[in-house]
Structure 1
Amino acid sequence: MKLPEYALELLLAYDGRVHFFASGHTLRFEVRLIEMAVRTPHGIAYSLTLHSPGGTRLLGFDNAHPVPHRGGRYVKPKLEADHWHRTATDEGRPYDFISVEKLLEDFFREAERILNEQGVAFEIVDDQED
């Protein structure tokens, strides 16, 4: 899956960034180019995470490892390692990587959902490079 150059630049621009909320929650981004492979057909290693003020990961979208197959014996397991962790204890569920834009949209939407559930406004007060 060859991604458009503008999309790669968009995602790579997030690498090392940390977004801070007044509550102490943070969004953290790690992105790098890697060799295209069956597990990473887009050639990107990424980790997009939401953390509590104490540092606990509350949400994560990444492709660091494959996740357990969910489904019956007639459902073919995914070869790609793209997945997301919906909660702090979720071991991961497959994520269909469609595009960089969709990945960012899904991540920010889920982060906002979790923060809203905790009564935290989705308002970034500082943005730094790690």
Structure 2
Amino acid sequence: MSGYDMRDLGSEYTLEYLLAFNGREHHYPEGYFVKIKRIDPTPERPHGLRYSFTLHGPEGMRLIGFDNAHPVVPVGGRFKKKPVAADHWHRTENDPGRPYAFVSAEQLVDDFLDEVERVLKQRGIELVVQTTTERKTS
């Protein structure tokens, strides 16, 4: 299977495209996979998406990630106001997470793929899908 770029899609189709990833894993040379699950909107997830986009190395360690599984404390100290939304990203494998301003599904895809490209280029890895698997979701 050859690589493709989600950024080629029109913005009106991006959300449906993301929802089609429900339970799907796309495997790249360094173990990259994307998961997304639809949920009802909540204060922590006002856009109605629960997502986890992660890039993993050969041993399974997460290298970067964008998710909203839990809120994170904003950089700048404990006196900074904690965001209501749980959206955040991990720039490196050791980054505990920093708030991410979710604007749209399209922007999320762009931001994630930009980071995947950055990390894979640094490691000399091509952004090409090798296999795709499906997992059942509840």
Q: TM-score, normalised by structure 2?
A: 0.80
Give the match for residue 61 of structure 1: 66
Correspondence for 1:16 among 17, 23, 27? 23
Query: Contact 1:34/1:44 (CA < 8 Å) preserved in 2?
Result: yes
Correspondence for 1:103 among 99, 104, 108? 108
Give the match for residue 3 of structure 2: none
Query: Contact 2:27/2:33 (CA < 8 Å) preserved in 1?
Result: no
Measure, in 1, the Cα distance between the counterparts of 2:60 and 2:79.
39
Give the match for residue 54 of structure 2: 49
Identity %: 47
Give the match for residue 85 of structure 1: 90
For the residue of structure 2 that corresponds to 1:124, the secondary structure is coil
For the residue of structure 2 that corresponds to 1:26, the secondary structure is coil
Give the match for residue 128 of structure 2: 123
The structure, 1 or 2, with the larger RCO (C-alpha pairs under 8 Å, 6+ apart) is: 2
- How many residues align? The count is 125
RMSD, aligned α-carbons: 2.1
The runs of at least 4 aligned residues of structure 1 exceeding 3 Å deviation read 4-8, 72-76
Unaligned regions of 5+ residues in structure 2, if any?
Answer: 1-10
Measure, in 2, the Cα distance between the counterparts of 1:15 and 1:103.
16
Per residue, is there more strand in 1 or in 2?
1
For the residue of structure 2 that corresponds to 1:122, the secondary structure is coil
